[in-house]
A and B are shown apart, each in its own frame.
Chain A
């Protein structure tokens, strides 16, 4: 794909996603016109207090309820897509996503433990911090397991991730068993949700996503060369172990922050890079730019489906799993046939 065409496509996707998010802000239990939503946002940016007084309930619904939720879903979609692109590029495995490494289940276990045991080391954000710490510990264990003679091989990395994932899933089941009355909150959280997200969470998510995006984009050309394999990449001047570690930590951070704020949302990190690759080809620079935009639009749409269009709210993780499962099988079969 030519550069100009790609620039046009990326700009179009960006504007399209913004319009989509605006439209979703209009929909819900209470229908609000696009014009009202627009002026509420503009007035609030100018002078929040005055806007609050002028619009009353409408202001509350748009600014405090819908926007944080819709933005959280969009940014989480972007973060998971960047993470998925990174994992796939580093593991040289088109089937990789935050789960292949066990990162998501590690983060989920950390959060579940803090809920069940009632930990309160870090005040109101204990759950988030536990999820994040466990994700990092998981990454260290997986990297440690996969490192031989100072080098990390892609195959042993996937294997280590699968082993850790299986172990943590068992531990999670045990947590659910221990939870008793609390089981409802854990289960809902495990299935993922953007309901009642706060602006503070949106900001945290946004900051880390931007950081992850910049790092991933910086190394995107190196990732292209890495797909020639370790030896070729090394002979082309790339420190493969360092590149791999950097991208893995970045992608894990993005996955962990997303899990800590919205629970487990599967398959976005797997599907989006694939869809985008079909259009742009395998160049990681293009993937790193376009995937987050498409991921944002898709996850916001899935969440809006649950929030505004279904009669009762369904956990977002369930929706992505229902969509993503068949897609995973499709890619898997395609890969099998290709080999």
Chain B
């Protein structure tokens, strides 16, 4: 196996009851790239992320992290390699923003010991980068959807893992914060050699930030490759059932999907 393969999935199957959600799904992640998963509703995007980070257990096939099967790792070890930013969520108790962000260090802190200086430094760095300084003492439950999303994003960055999963992590954000978070994460991919795998609903957002894309349909990865090569009118038709025109963005040369109709 290539040393660069940090996370691989081979013919993974997963079903709920009798219904197969993920069928014969394979993919491979290299270090230091920004990957996107796109696909129609119900194509299994979120479930695939769940399987890859051991939140759900796959039935057959194999998922390997650094060449070793995922289920040979402890939960805690996985949490030191993979962080997850889920879709927005609610918490029932009034924890402060600072409490929630600090929970990102949970996989590293021994029971009954407290925050070290390096833990604190990392938290401060992330808080500064995401401009959350003014929020720290706020009650998390009183925040708006977008503010929560930024906090939970900070929580995942504080986890300081090599791999970060985003599950429509920017869906509640206004354009400024949406791009500001994606720019931040993109910077981490380039400068700190992080690997990001992100589920996108918005095709052009995926196209703008992702180096490579996986297109999913019916629980399978149907297309995989460089963003510029697989963002094609034909694939839009096959995967999303839309008529489109792909325009080359003059600024960064990224493909831009203009939807012309449905099939």
Q: Which residue of A lies closest to B14 (CB)?
A: A149
CB-based nearest A residue for B100? A228
- In the complex the two chains form, is A224's CB within 8 Å of B95's CB? yes
Do B89 and A237 touch across chains, with their CB atoms under 8 A apart? no
Across the interface, which residues of B come within 8 angstroms of A204, CB to CB? none
Binds A, one of B72-80, B125-133, B204-212, B239-247: B72-80
Compute how far the CA of A87 lies from the CA of B104 in the bound complex, rounded to whole angstroms: 24
Q: Are A237 and B76 in contact (CB under 8 A)?
A: yes
User: What is the 8 Å Cβ interface bit string for chain A, positions 244-284, against chain B (1 contact, 0 not)?
Assistant: 00000000000000000000000000000000010001110
Residues of A within 8 A of B77 (CB): 237
Which residues from chain B contact A282 at a C-beta distance below 8 Å? 93-95, 99
Residue of A nearest to B93 (CB): A282
* Assembled-state Cα–Cα distance A231/B92 (Å): 15
- Cα–Cα, bound, A232→B54 (Å): 12
Interface string of B75-93 (1 = CB under 8 A from A): 1111110111010011111
Docked complex: A77-114 residues within 8 A CB-CB of B: 92-94
Whether B79 and A236, one on each chain, are in contact in the complex, defined by CB atoms closer than 8 angstroms, is: yes
**CB-defined contacts of B55 to chain A, threshold 8 Å:** 230-231, 234-235
- Contact code string B90-129 (vs A, CB < 8 Å = 1, else 0): 1111111001100110110101000000000000000000
Complex: chain B residue closest to A232, CB-CB: B86
Complex Cα–Cα for A338 and B155 (A):
24
Question: Total A-B pairs in contact (CB under 8 Å)?
Answer: 84
A235 touches B106 (CB 8 A): no
A119: chain B residues at CB < 8 Å are none
A8 to B34, CA, bound (A): 50
Alpha-carbon gap, A157 to B111, bound state (A)? 28
Which of A230, A234, A277, A283 lies in contact with B75, CB distance below 8 A? A234
Nearest A residue (CB) for B107: A237
Q: What residue in chain B is nearest A222 (Cβ atoms)? A: B106
When the two chains form their complex, are residues B86 and A221 in contact, meaning their CB atoms are under 8 A apart? Answer: no
Of chain A, the residue at the smallest CB distance from B104 is A236
Q: Write out, one digit per residue, whether chain A residues 32-56 have a CB within 8 A of any chain B CB (1) or not (0).
A: 0000000000000000000000000
What secondary structure prevails in chain B residues at the interface with A?
A: mixed
* Contact mask for chain B residues 147-180; partner A; CB cutoff 8 A; 1 contact, 0 none: 0000010011001000001000000000000000
Prevailing SS type, chain A contact patch: loop
Q: Which residues of B contact A236 (CB under 8 A)?
A: 79, 103-104, 106-107, 159
- Find B84's partner among A150, A221, A235 (CB 8 Å cutoff): A235
Q: Is A218 in the interface zone, CB < 8 Å from B?
A: yes
CA distance A338 to B169 in the complex (A): 25
Contact B106 A232 (CB under 8 A): no
B7 within 8 Å of A (CB atoms): no
Q: Flag if A227 contacts B104 (CB, 8 Å).
A: no
* Given A237-B78, A237-B106, residue A232 in contact with residue B84 (CB < 8 A): yes
B217 to chain A, nearest CB (A): 23
How many of chain A's residues have a CB under 8 angstroms from any CB in B? 26
- In the complex, the answer to whether B91 meets A235 with C-beta atoms within 8 Å is no
Given known contacts A150-B57, A236-B107, A237-B106, A227 and B93 CB-to-CB distance under 8 angstroms: yes
A235–B92 touching, CB < 8 Å? no
Which residue of the partner chain B has the closest CB to A284? B93
B:192-236 near A, CB below 8 Å: none
What residues on A are CB-neighbors of B57 within 8 Å?
A: 150
Instruction: Give complex CA distance A225, B152 in Å.
Output: 12
Using a CB–CB cutoff of 8 Å, the interface residues on chain B facing chain A are 16-17, 50, 53-57, 74-80, 82-84, 86, 89-96, 99-100, 103-104, 106-107, 109, 111, 141, 152, 155-156, 159, 165
The 3 closest A-B pairs by CB, nearest first: A237-B79, A282-B93, A235-B84
13 contacts between A and B (CB under 8 A): A229-B91, A230-B55, A231-B89, A232-B84, A232-B152, A232-B155, A234-B53, A235-B83, A235-B156, A236-B103, A237-B77, A237-B107, A239-B75
